[in-house]
Homo-oligomer: A and B are copies of this chain.
Amino acid sequence: MKLDSLIRTAPSWMSGADDADGIVLSCRARLARNLANYPFATRITRPQQQQVIDEVLAAAKSSRSMSTATYFGMSVLDGDERRVLVERHLISPTLADEKGERGVLFNQDESLSVMINEEDHLRLQAISPGTRGREAFTAICALDDELLAAIDCAHDSRLGFLTACPTNTGTGLRLSVLIHLPALVLTEDMERVLQGLGQLSFTVRGMYGEGSNAAGNLFQISNQATLGASEESILEELIRITEQLVGFEREAQDSLRQEARGQVEDKVWRAFGLLSQARILTSQEFMNLLSAVRLGCTLGLVTGVPSSFLNHLMIATQPSHLRADAGRGLTPAERDLRRAEIVRNKLSEVTNS
């Protein structure tokens, strides 16, 4: 497999998560950009798509951030390989599945990536571990500046950056945080929190974006509006909301600690016991058990299990990573066996070290 070097290791940006509290897993910044001299995606021809790719790769080559980045055209990857990139958050399902010339460019630690010919000609992404949202924002702005120096982008002096879908027009910026809120779910306060977020025009989704549900108590919070607000103000607002959510989660954790300490410890250690010993693990059960262990880490009950380890486990046990690791197609039942095996082995490595 062309992605062999990827599948067995964690994206190295993840290792930065271990100094965080385990509540905020990561922050992502995304910019939508289109080249001025080509039709938007719905109208573009294949030769024009190829020209877009060529222009972008040339610009990247001469940039500081992406001069040594890896490029994969989707046409050289089979469906499984594309899914591996989706599971690593390097590309969207749309880029993996659509027709036409398209591809992805990403740097060594997978913290920066550029999808070419997705819904927009360019989708720039920066990701950073823990609560370092400002870092991702700074990185994406730098990459944007570097590419814009070499590429002429579709821009309107009144509207800002033009995009295929008007919801992205303006800054083209979408910021999101992936946040683990198990105590708010356990105390049944999450519904109330979600309502509050809706009123602030921030959306809440599961880990894999629109339409995915919040497996393992992981929520992705992102801004809705890209127009009428500066990039800085979107960032400040998201940071503020994230801090608030972390505060709510901590309160909920405190009340669990006070009112149901025994039950929470039991829940955490049962999950640890099952992850350590189960021979069959569905993806859903795995995510729920992982959530309980992660809560145990945040509460200080479980020690010696780094947050980055749990994050990597989440990636390594997804269907296409399992299939790639096995080197062959797997039935759902075989996946559940391999998932359990990988979790068991990796967990015994980390707990025995």
- Copies per assembly: 2
Interface residues of chain A, those whose CB is within 8 Å of chain B, are 262-263, 265-266, 269-270, 272-280, 333, 337, 340
- A263 — which chain B residues lie within 8 A by C-beta? 280
Closest to A279 in B: B266
Q: Are A270 and B265 in contact (CB under 8 A)?
A: no
Chain B proximity of A272: nearest CB distance (Å): 5
Chain B proximity of A275: nearest CB distance (Å): 8
* Bound CA–CA A269/B341 (angstroms): 12
- A266 — which chain B residues lie within 8 A by C-beta? 278-280, 340
17 pairs of residues in contact across A and B, judged by CB atoms under 8 Å: A262-B280, A265-B279, A266-B280, A266-B340, A269-B277, A269-B278, A269-B279, A270-B279, A272-B273, A272-B277, A273-B273, A273-B274, A273-B275, A273-B277, A274-B274, A276-B276, A276-B277
Chain B proximity of A338: nearest CB distance (Å): 12
Closest to A344 in B: B269
Q: Are B277 and A270 in contact (CB under 8 A)?
A: yes
Closest to A261 in B: B279
Q: Are B274 and A262 in contact (CB under 8 A)?
A: no
Most B C-beta atoms less than 10 A away, residue of A272, A277, A333: A277
Closest to A265 in B: B279
* Bound CA–CA A337/B261 (angstroms): 12
* Bound CA–CA A266/B344 (angstroms): 12
Q: Are B262 and A270 in contact (CB under 8 A)?
A: no
Q: Closest 10 interchain pairs by CB?
A: A273-B277, A273-B273, A266-B279, A269-B277, A266-B280, A265-B279, A273-B274, A270-B278, A272-B277, A273-B276
